[in-house]
Amino acid sequence: MTRLRGLAAHYTGRERVGPATMGQVNMARCVRTDPPEHMNYEVVRNLPQGTTYQRVADAVGLLMSRHESLRTTFHDGIQRVAGDGELTVEVHPAGDGVTGRVAADLRGRRFDLAAELPLRVAVIAGDDGPEQVVLVTTHSTVDAVGLALLVADWEELVRGRTPGPAAPQPVDVAAMEGSPAGLRRADAALRYWRTQLGRIPRSTLTVTVDDRDHDWSLPRLRVRSAAVAAALARITARTGTSRSGALLAAFGTLAGLRAGQPVCPIISISANRFRPELREYVGPLAQDALIPIDLTGPAFDAVLRATRAASLAAYQNSRFDSAALVRIMEEVAADRGVFFARDLVYNDMSAATPAGPPLRGVPDERAPGEEPDIRSAWLPDETLPTRVSLWVNRLEGEVDVTLWADPRCLPREDTLLLGEGVMRLLAEAGRRDVPLADLPGLTGITPLRRDGEWLVADSCWVDLAEVRRLVADAVPGPSSVSAVPDERLGHRIVCRLAAPVTPEAAHAACLALLPGRMAAIAPHHYVVAGVAEGTGRPAPAEVPVPSRAPGPYGRVGGG
């Protein structure tokens, strides 16, 4: 790519040092380990006609002066905010495909969070001056809502206008989190997670996969409907559930129906902007909210009410010390013999999307048997380390969602049934309280057929054949695995080993191989020839349970 001489964008501000926020620590870890194309944000904007190079440089400098997150580097849990300085803005001549290539280059390079300010800017220049700007930042700087706020400020500044007062800066937010009240909230969040992780199913998809050398290039299904937007308004009026909450409930209901589970745990990316002073915050606040959706009610309204209550509790407990949560996950994994899969993710980004036009021609009620206007289309594959993720693009005027699905876990035909089924359920729920028994006929989704040795143990669907493979791979020598009825667990899985190994070491070896084996859990009880019977929990220090690997099941939070 041809590159012209760069522009100098001058920024000003005071130098500051303080602890990193919980959101910064969480996402900085991911930025350092996950592929940069997953963790970096790219924004391309046309520039107003007549924009000069000096106006672009001034706007970049003002943006950085206004938001300390753009001047922040990270050093062992400490954030350092730069004072006055200069950022070089690249300038490239316009041409076929130039903008895309420049954006891909800026986004595709990992940020050095200790040595590089987290903003890259390039201008695409035509014969008459600047035409487009490319802005690239990263997830330790902003989340999706923070990015939308940052872009809104850019649009004001490049037009010579002054945005409103800035929200608290990250150093100030860290001080709030370190206050007695902030520490109490964080401790409560960890207690909530420990309780939920101790009882929910470990996976909803329960398909064993091998992620070695997997490129995470996934199909994406976009589904849209204006009729469902109208139905959501009626559902909200009838039940008090928010539009987003109703969509979440429908997603969990049908995923749980397919899995044959009475509870469907979903990770929802929480924006954590409940406090008024944080609503305009330009920084990473988004972290995981763990929402167990109860599907034991007779009809969908009961699921809506249960989801509303569960969501409130989950979102209130979605700001936490991510390193402490990883330790809790490891402790629960050792105690239960499971590895939480994080295989269903809900990411509502509609707040960052302008509302659609007013509804026209959408009747309050459809005629009996009339189909809602559900439109679906496959989008080009893109890379994202996820199993199944529902991204909400729009909820007002038109419901517009994108369903990402790993076809090894959710084949394309099932992805289509789930994406369109969510819309069909909501369209019908706008007219009546839909009995859960009606869902297979309404959506085409039925419980998975489980042949072989499937059973329920500790709320998890488990394939005994997969447990045998797990034990054989983890512990050398002959072994056998069986299940016996258990009043508390449903079934207790017993492993008999001939190898000279302790129950604790055998359990730790099984735990180490659990990631990716969503149809297996580690045995509850080990019997070793020549060694007294016993449980393998907790694992001893000499055979530690390894830290969770980076990726969709190792990351804690994001969005």
Which CATH number fits the domain that encloses residue 427?
Answer: 3.30.559.30
| Residues 410 and 468 grouped into a single domain | no
Range of the structural domain that residue 368 is part of = 179-207+218-443
Helix axes 300-316, 412-429, angle to 10 degrees: 100
Alpha carbon distances (Å) from 529 to 6, 102, 465, 485, 501: 72, 63, 22, 23, 9
Compute φ and ψ for 310, nearest 5 degrees.
-65, -35
- 3 band by pLDDT with thresholds 50, 70 and 90: low
558 inside domain: yes
| Residues 457 and 482 grouped into a single domain | yes
In this model, does residue 214 exceed pLDDT 60? Answer: yes
**Radius of gyration of the chain from Cα atoms?**
25
| Residues 437 and 453 grouped into a single domain | no
The string of pLDDT tens digits covering residues 466-489 is: 999 999 999 998 999 999 999 999
Q: Which amino acid makes up residue 244?
A: S
| Residues 129 and 194 grouped into a single domain | no
Res 271: pLDDT: 86
| Residues 432 and 453 grouped into a single domain | no
Cβ atoms of 192 and 367 within 8 Å: the answer is: no
Instruction: Please write down the HEC assignment for all residues of 365-401.
Output: CCCCCCCCCCEEEEEEEEECCCCEEEEEEECCCCEEE
400 inside domain: yes
174 inside domain: no
The string of pLDDT tens digits covering residues 34-63 is: 889 889 999 999 999 999 999 999 999 999
Given 420, 443, 466, the domain boundary residue is: 443
Report the SS3 class of residue 159. Answer: coil
Which CATH number fits the domain that encloses residue 13?
Answer: 3.30.559.10
| Residues 164 and 192 grouped into a single domain | no
Separation between Cα atoms, residue 138 and residue 144, nearest integer Å = 10
Q: How far apart are the first and last CA of the chain?
A: 32
Separation between Cα atoms, residue 132 and residue 112, nearest integer Å = 26
CA dihedral 210, 212, 214, 215 (to 10 degrees): 160
Given 443, 474, 503, the domain boundary residue is: 443
The string of pLDDT tens digits covering residues 490-540 is: 999 999 998 788 999 999 999 999 999 999 999 999 998 755 445 444 333
Cβ atoms of 23 and 284 within 8 Å: the answer is: yes
| Residues 380 and 342 grouped into a single domain | yes
In this model, does residue 290 exceed pLDDT 50? Answer: yes
Closest CA to 20 of 32, 36, 8: 32
- 227 band by pLDDT with thresholds 50, 70 and 90: very high
| Residues 387 and 528 grouped into a single domain | no
- 2 band by pLDDT with thresholds 50, 70 and 90: low
Helix axes 180-197, 322-336, angle to 10 degrees: 20
| Residues 188 and 136 grouped into a single domain | no
Separation between Cα atoms, residue 53 and residue 293, nearest integer Å = 53
Separation between Cα atoms, residue 104 and residue 280, nearest integer Å = 28
| Residues 400 and 425 grouped into a single domain | yes
In this model, does residue 133 exceed pLDDT 90? Answer: yes
Which CATH number fits the domain that encloses residue 514?
Answer: 3.30.300.30
Closest CA to 119 of 153, 161, 73: 73
| Residues 454 and 433 grouped into a single domain | no
371 inside domain: yes
Separation between Cα atoms, residue 361 and residue 230, nearest integer Å = 11
402 inside domain: yes
Res 544: pLDDT: 30
72 inside domain: yes
Res 557: pLDDT: 44
In 35-174, the DSSP E strands lie at 40-46, 72-75, 78-81, 85-93, 120-126, 129-138
212 inside domain: no
Separation between Cα atoms, residue 393 and residue 384, nearest integer Å = 17
Given 391, 417, 443, the domain boundary residue is: 443
| Residues 269 and 234 grouped into a single domain | yes
Res 275: pLDDT: 82
Q: If you average pLDDT over residues 366-375, what whole number do you get? A: 73
- 174 band by pLDDT with thresholds 50, 70 and 90: very high
Cβ atoms of 556 and 322 within 8 Å: the answer is: yes
Cβ atoms of 338 and 202 within 8 Å: the answer is: yes
160 inside domain: yes
The string of pLDDT tens digits covering residues 389-425 is: 999 999 999 999 999 999 999 999 999 999 999 999 9
If one counts the domains in the chain, the total is 3
Res 554: pLDDT: 35
Res 545: pLDDT: 31
